[in-house]
Structure 1
Amino acid sequence: MGTGQARRGNTRRRIQDAALELFSAHGYEKTSLREIAERLDVTKAALYYHFKTKEDIVIGLFEDAAQPIDELLAWGREQPRTTETRTELVRRYAEALRNAESLFRFVHENQATVRDLSIGEIFKRRVRELFDLLKDPDAELVDQMRCLTAVHALHAGQFTVQHVEGDPEEKREAILRVATELVTAANPPHRRPARPDSAQTESP
């Protein structure tokens, strides 16, 4: 990457970071592009060079955060449906969420706004695909709920555990452990229904 490209990339990242701070502090709707420019001490024209609207900023943030998740989903599609695959999906997804913690805090605090933006549906599609990869195709309803709860635990754990006493790293590990236990418990081999050709015929 040339010096000019690196500089543009750095400015773009600074704009996104400043916007996230203001969105979290004042809300998406109450934050203007002018305020973002003032926070960075740049002109609105300089801001427009990178982003024309606030939604463009959020879309850019999601595209950056979505790349490791998309790579994870692509990896998961190529793997066998085993407990090891599921637990690795959970671990890597938790890591991706942690790396984009500021963005997902914004999503949590601005849920109504995100639903109205184009990225809302895109994010939900990724969550649904992760859920499909975590559960067996013929999973019982209770096991589907375990997998779904595991995903929501990872999401909620980014925010709700802030009010729980304890070391932040230990809390993250506890959340990951809970999610992993839920996925591991879902449809274990000893509870899978017997194949039709293996069923014993009852005596008359």
Structure 2
Amino acid sequence: MLDRDPRSTRMRIQSVALELFAEQGYDKTSLRELSERLGLTKASLYYYFKGKDDIVQSLVDDLLTAVDEVVDWSRGRERTPENRRELIERYAKAIRGQGTPLLRFLMENQPALRVHECGDALRERMRVLVDFVVDPRDPLPVQLCGRMAFFALHSGPMIMSDVEATTDEIFDAACAVAVSMLPDDDGERPSS
């Protein structure tokens, strides 16, 4: 049963859609299945969202808003080791706020997002963030470590899902690993 508050109902639809997308993938999830799981008619579902793409766009819009704050913070800042760490920590906080189900959806549904408008927007933001962290003059292993820092943040919650730890503990660990992969002043990855 859905709440009478339209915002609450939209959030419930988004949540259940993420569950279904995680279970069977974006392409294999139908609006009929979504409406059945919610206990709604398809017509009621269409009142809130035009279709699956609209649901995905709404989910990614929230993430884009959080990521845009990090991008805005980075503009005009020097690419120092401290600022690189700060960017990773801010980005980690932004994606943590969106939750593991959305990260899982984004990681597992890359083919669907390649053709979706919101996928382009996410890729553009990621290019800005990666460009801030990765100096193309650094040796390739150092550049790879900078890129892998973002992968640690994105995939950490999925990789660690079978570990006995809270979501916050896992996000904290992913952030610590991501920061440890960043280069120091000399363009070298810090030693442990």
- TM-score, normalised on structure 2? 0.84
Give the aligned partner of residue 99 of structure 1: 97
1:81 aligns with 2:84: no
Give the aligned partner of residue 22 of structure 1: 20
Change (3 A) 1:43 1:94: same
Find the partner of 1:90 among 66, 71, 88.
88
Two-structure CA RMSD over aligned residues (Å): 2.2
Q: CA deviation at 1:187?
A: 5.2
Structure with bigger gyration radius: 1
Quick one: distance in 2 between partners of 1:71 and 1:132?
Answer: 16
Number of aligned pairs? 183
Report runs of 4+ in structure 1 exceeding 6 Å deviation: none
Give the aligned partner of residue 129 of structure 2: 130
Whichever residue aligns with residue 185 of structure 2, its letter is: P
Q: CA deviation at 1:29?
A: 2.1
Q: CA deviation at 1:71?
A: 0.9
- TM-score, normalised on structure 1? 0.79
CA contact (8 A) 1:77 1:133 kept: no
Q: Percent identity?
A: 41
Q: CA deviation at 1:46?
A: 1.9
Give the aligned partner of residue 150 of structure 1: 149
Give the aligned partner of residue 172 of structure 2: 173
Change (3 A) 1:190 1:10: closer
Q: CA deviation at 1:137?
A: 5.8
Give the aligned partner of residue 11 of structure 1: 9
Quick one: distance in 2 between partners of 1:84 and 1:108?
Answer: 28
Whichever residue aligns with residue 158 of structure 2, its letter is: F
CA contact (8 A) 1:136 1:187 kept: no
Give the aligned partner of residue 37 of structure 2: 39
CA contact (8 A) 2:96 2:171 kept: no
CA contact (8 A) 1:139 1:187 kept: no
Quick one: distance in 2 between partners of 1:125 and 1:74?
Answer: 13
Give the aligned partner of residue 113 of structure 1: 112
**Secondary structure at 2:157 match in 1:** coil
